[in-house]
A and B are shown apart, each in its own frame.
Chain A
């Protein structure tokens, strides 16, 4: 049953994703891409399970590396997107 439930979520999310972002002005293509990229670091939430929840040494090494990689993706992605959008913003004030 859980499989069906998760697949259900997946299908709805995909449709939602297509609807959300179908019309984006060219100016925002890069920020949209790097902003979405930051979201893909959500694996972080899954990496905790792997890193901390077992006593297996190999698993916690893999999990720790997963946490580090995902954090780079999340922190870097959001900061860089904000930096770019900040430049767009400064102009509209004029």
Chain B
């Protein structure tokens, strides 16, 4: 008994701190302290776990922690803010991998003895969800960093294959639980199938849906920790894992609502792979940097609408600079952020915060739309689907019904764009052909720097 009591007491303290920390993360004023609380909770839980484990050899533990701490610190410090979605995906994946390994290693605990069926079942869950999170996150990482094609990958027979995969998993899980052991052939089959499942689950999801995928994988990594907690009978894993699982699901739900689609539709529809909407015809009206300057110079209300393209061009700093110049020119400046703009929840907020844009100037979609008609110039920077009027007007469009920022109703719209390629969803955008739309072609950062130069 002895030591176990103290470990569990420490776990109670840790659980309370985790709860406080998460609560405080929900408000801008306390968020940073909340994160500190939660890291304190982690420290307490980890130390208690280390003492409570009554380890016989610390070498492996120390080496493992050193390697992990080195990689974690370096990547957290060095990675650019624009690469944040990829990094979060990778961290998620390593959490999943860890749960898988803990589940697997637990089997060796029962050398000779038979493994209780309930424990076997939780080990299966830890391996499945952990594996799914691991490879799913790796694929998400690949898509986000453009190392692999970020479009939705759909092929014929995909559903049949996936159904077969799920059946095989259920069968192997059942057979494994009937006779659980560390050498069971079904264990290895499950490991392979779990990893394959993660790949199959994420490849049919296109780049624009990544905010949903990332928050869902986040939720999975919590659920995997939970399952591992059941496997090793550790309640802090269950509490912390459940909290993460719940928060991930809430975020996922917010993202889905922002696109007016169900989670099932995001996960299984292979969205963006098929083009069904009517092609848009018309003429685009390009504009030069110089003319853009004249219009902006006379404008009294300008609204920036950033999207993933701003992250790619790393244009957040020049955008903010232009905003400041316009303000000095007596113009009202705001930044309208669509909930799913970018590649993770809150992506644009983070980038604009990095550039030091005042919090009060960031407005949400529902706040800007009612007064969009008073906006003289809406500057769309690398956003596409979230400003596509088809979502409002064209019932055949794949994005029909998604709430958008109605920039087409502003007096003038500048669209900063590299070329005329369609957005991630592969949907044509009638906005580009609008009467009041002017296209400013080229790299967003260079275009904006050009405009700033004209002001100078």
Contact = CB atoms under 8 A, between A and B. Distances in A.
Interface of A: 2-3, 6, 9-10, 13-14, 16-18, 20-56, 58-92, 94
Given A30-B344, A91-B358, A67 B60 contact: yes
Contacts, number: 392
B243 A17 contact: yes
B56 A52 contact: yes
Contact of B31 (A56, A67, A73, A88): A88
A8 to B, nearest CB: 10
A50 B103 CA distance: 9
B72 A91 contact: no
Contacts of B337: 26
B58 A69 contact: no
A52 to B, nearest CB: 3
B294 interface: no
Nearest to B230: A6
A40 B241 contact: yes
Contacts of A26: 337, 339, 345-346, 349, 364
Chain B: number of interface residues, binned into ranges:
35 or more
B236 A90 contact: no
A41 B366 CA distance: 36
Contact of A33 (B68, B218, B364): B218
B214 A33 contact: yes
A45 B251 contact: no
A29 B45 contact: no
Interface in B232-270: 232-251, 254
A30 B240 contact: no
Contacts of B248: 33, 36
A65 B134 CA distance: 14
Contacts of A80: 75-76, 79, 84, 87-88, 91
B64 A67 contact: yes
Interface in B46-98: 46, 48-50, 53-58, 60-61, 63-65, 67-69, 71-73, 75-77, 79, 81, 84, 87-88, 91-92, 94-95, 97-98
Contacts of B79: 80
Interface in B23-63: 23, 25-29, 31-32, 34-36, 38-39, 42, 45-46, 48-50, 53-58, 60-61, 63
